[in-house]
Amino acid sequence: MAAAQDAHHASQATQTFDPPPAVAAAAHVPSFEAYQRLHRRSLDDPEGFWREVSDQFVWFKPWTTLQEWNPPFAKWFVDGETNISVNCLDRHVEAGRGDRVAYYWEGEPGDTRTITYADLLADVQQFANALKAQGLRAGDRVVLYMPMVPELPAAMLACARLGVVHSVVFGGFSSDAIRDRVNDAGARLIVTADGGWRRGRVIPLKANVDGALANGACPSVERVIVLRRCGNPIDWDAARDVWWDDAVAGQPANCPPAHLPAEHPLYILYTSGTTGKPKGVVHATAGYMVYTAYTSKLIFDLRGDDVYWCTADIGWVTGHSYIVYGILANGVTGVMYEGAPNHPAEDRFWAIVEKYKVTVFYTAPTAIRTFVRWGDHHPQGRDLSSLRLLGTVGEPINPDAWLWYHRVIGQGRCPIVDTWWQTETGGILITPLPGATTLKPGSATLPFPGVEPQVVGEDGQPMPDGQRGLLVIERPWPSTLRGIYTEGWGQPGHPGEFGDRERFVETYWEKFPGRYLTGDGAVRDADGYFWVIGRVDDTLSVAGHRIGTAEVESALVSHPAVAESAVVGAPDPIAGESIAAFVTLRGGIEGTDELQAELTQHVGQTLGRFARPKLLRFTDALPKTRSGKIMRRLLRDVAAGREVAGDTTTLEDLSVLAALRGDEE
Ligand code: ATP
Ligand code: MG
């Protein structure tokens, strides 16, 4: 069976895109040979390689030992001391670039702000002093539950300045989800806002925090700092709550940075939970700092005059690494957007690109497929000529969506970096470099320097090129997750130094000792390009034929009527599993019986008869996590006619689920 699927991959690769000569000429890595040299050196001489990269940062104490690797426990820049807030802010201000814009902030309803590096540094120091005044010390945990406002990166950097460990909880989460995360982290303080704007509505953030803390449910929390954002009415606990403005009032705009050991935990971030109970992924200061800054520079090919916009929410790892830390470390200008892509109109993103003359644009396949559905006239009505580079992250991108992105948004001129990585990896591991890599739509292409991926079988042996297997990473990289958070983390001599060892080992290292198990399936082609197929648990077995749900989805989306699809397995008495497909159509197209038959045929022709969905249902929307990923677990329950079980706290809109279930009856 593998042969048919792999032929499918090969066919996807017939159209390739070389780096445009002008892009290559100006790029940090200007040719494929330069990339190959860099990658080889990073593996052959890691000490020399990372010495050069890390020398560009401010260290209070330079490192002498690059790495301690006691599988599966890794430390990087081991004996160095630094502070990431200094490398993101002070460094640029001291070099005379304080007037450069750090963020153009575009909020609802019509609010805008321009914040320079000097402004941000002052805000960060003042808020750090406010945290200190609340009695917080290095190693304490703070939960940030905030809208997409400039105070969020300021609060993150203020924590980092003191060595306080932040845990950002996405502003769309409910009270239950906040409570679980606050308690898991043992947070002493929460920073929130009265509300956040979303499509003209106020999300009651403070009320959600109140709900989480009600009845003494979070005993570790001593204080809640509240930013005034929407002016909506809120309840107030005078013994516990303090307004942001009052907390910072009278605090000096100067706060000396803590000199932190390289391995000091920088933050905890809970993974989005499409597969199970959220895990508190811990990242350490120096390795994360160096790796996110260096990947930002090479992959987005950043220069001083760039206006870079990543549309993710800072509540996800993409926002941590590629809106805040990695981007600020490069001293470029970012755009931060508070609202939704279709408010007030469906061309909102393109209006922002036009307004700020965005040069680098980074978004997710789910957004791209939505834009396809809304129609080309939206981007075509705006001036997108400032764009020079596009990026995508979050899930495999269907070649058709890739080609649309390239043609309609990039106007054929902009390379696309399809970046593969995870919350756990801290930074991008597999990716094109825009001046060096020939692109194949749908492939994340090749490893970043320092990274050695491999596709292996169940026995751990490398799979032949063109055959699917498990994606593993052969050696640690600087921003490898240090563990899963548990109480006592980081206290010297405490057994909790590496967190929940058991879950850490079991999840990522036990299957192949010494190699990081990504949980994703992949194929490497004859050119060494990686094609990530999706989570291994998204592989179906239909009458003994194995096929990735993403491949069936890709086949469906290649039909002109289809905007988006989600494919899951349903129990089948004969085939073991059968394929169930949920499909949303492009604007104006109706889901008729004829179309249903046509789509089933279309999948059969594209992938083979065995891959034809047994159930194909049209729907107005798919259930997604708040980071935009399809919740296949829920669809599996729907397809099997079961009650939907388990944790739905990350689901974007519960009414979607109700509609899907209602259809069934
Ligand atoms: P959880 O681990 O809690 O189930 P999650 O895996 O969705 O949630 P993330 O760490 O945000 O949380 O996502 C990482 C996953 O997203 C990867 O393992 C991979 O499956 C998918 N992914 C990310 N980028 C890409 C990409 N460029 N191509 C293919 N898949 C991608
Ligand atoms: Mg994951």
Rounded Cα distance, 314 and 157, in Å? 13
Average pLDDT of the chain to the nearest whole number: 92
Average pLDDT over residues 526-555: 84
Which amino acid does the sequence have at 137?
R
* Burial of 82 from C-beta contacts in 10 A (0-12 / 13-18 / 19+): buried
Residues with CB under 6 A from ligand 1: 271-275, 317, 393-396, 418-420, 422-423, 444, 518-520, 532, 534-535, 629
For 317-347, the pLDDT digits (tens) are 999 999 999 999 999 999 999 988 999 999 9
Q: What is the pLDDT of residues 361-405, one digit of tens each?
A: 999 998 998 999 899 999 999 999 999 999 999 989 999 999 999
Instruction: Please write the tens of the pLDDT for every residue from 230-259.
Output: 999 999 999 999 999 999 999 999 999 999
Report whether pLDDT(13) > 80.
no
pLDDT band with cut points at 50, 70 and 90 for residue 539: confident
pLDDT over 70, % of the chain: 94
539: Cβ contacts below 8 Å, ≥ 6 apart: 521, 533, 546, 547, 548, 549
Ligand 1 centre to CA of 518 (Å) is 9
Q: What are 3's two structure tokens?
A: 């042969």
For 88, the 3-state DSSP assignment is helix
pLDDT in tens, 277-322: 678 999 999 999 999 999 999 999 999 999 999 999 999 999 999 9
Closest C-alpha residue for ligand 1 atom 17: 422
Confidence class for position 665, pLDDT limits 50, 70, 90: very low
- The protein residue whose alpha carbon is closest to atom 21 in ligand 1 is 395
Closest ligand 1 atom to Cα of 392: 27
pLDDT of 488 reads 79
pLDDT in tens, 259-269: 999 999 999 99
Give the DSSP per-residue string, 346-384.
TTHHHHHHHHHT-SEEEE-HHHHHHHHHH-THHHHTS--
pLDDT digits (tens, 9 = 90+) for 506-532: 999 999 999 999 999 999 999 999 999
Helix or strand run (H / E) with residue 454: strand 453-456
The pick from 173, 268, 271 for probing ligand 1's pocket by mutation, whose C-beta has the most ligand atoms within 8 angstroms, reads 271
Q: Compute the C-alpha angle 485/490/496, nearest 5°.
A: 55
Confidence of residue 2 (pLDDT cuts 50, 70, 90): very low
What does the pLDDT look like over 149-163, one tens digit per residue?
999 999 999 999 999
Per-residue pLDDT, averaged over 567-575, amounts to 86
**Contact present, 290 and 478 (Cβ < 8 Å):** yes
Q: Does residue 7 surpass a pLDDT of 50?
A: no
Q: Mean per-residue pLDDT for 15-39?
A: 97
Higher pLDDT, 149 or 543: 149
Q: CB burial class (10 A; 0-12, 13-18, 19+) of residue 536?
A: middle
- For residue 542, pLDDT over 90 is answered with no
Res. 12 pLDDT band, cuts 50 70 90:
low
The three-class DSSP label of residue 595 is: helix
Asked whether the predicted pLDDT for residue 664 surpasses 60, the reply is no
Hey, what are 417's tokens? 């970096």
**Eight-state DSSP code of residue 107:** -
Q: Tell me the three-class secondary structure of 110-167, residue by residue.
A: CCEEEEEHHHHHHHHHHHHHHHHHCCCCCCCEEEECCCCCCHHHHHHHHHHHHCCEEE
Q: Is 170 left (phi over 0), alpha (psi -120 to 50) or beta?
A: beta
Q: Which ligand is nearest to the CA of 276?
A: 1
From the CA of 651, how far away is ligand 2's center (Å)?
16
Q: How far apart are CA 588 and CA 155, in angstroms?
A: 44
User: pLDDT digit string (tens) for 152-208?
Assistant: 999 999 999 999 999 999 988 889 889 989 999 999 999 999 999 988 999 999 999
What local confidence, expressed as pLDDT, does residue 493 receive? 62
Q: How far is the CA of 528 from the centre of ligand 1 (A)?
A: 21
Tens digit of each residue's pLDDT (9 = 90 or more) over 101-110: 999 999 987 8
Q: Identify the nearest ligand to the CA of 402 by its number.
A: 1
Strand, coil or helix: what is 417?
strand
Ligand 1: which of 168, 317, 422, 484 to mutate, judged by most atoms within 8 Å of the beta carbon? 422
Residue 496, pLDDT > 90, answer no
> What's residue 660's pLDDT?
72
Q: Please tell me the distance from the alpha carbon of residue 600 to that of residue 10, in angstroms, as a whole number.
A: 22
Residue 537's pLDDT is 74
pLDDT at residue 81 in the model: 98
- Is residue 4 pLDDT above 60, yes or no? no
Identify the pLDDT of residue 333. 98
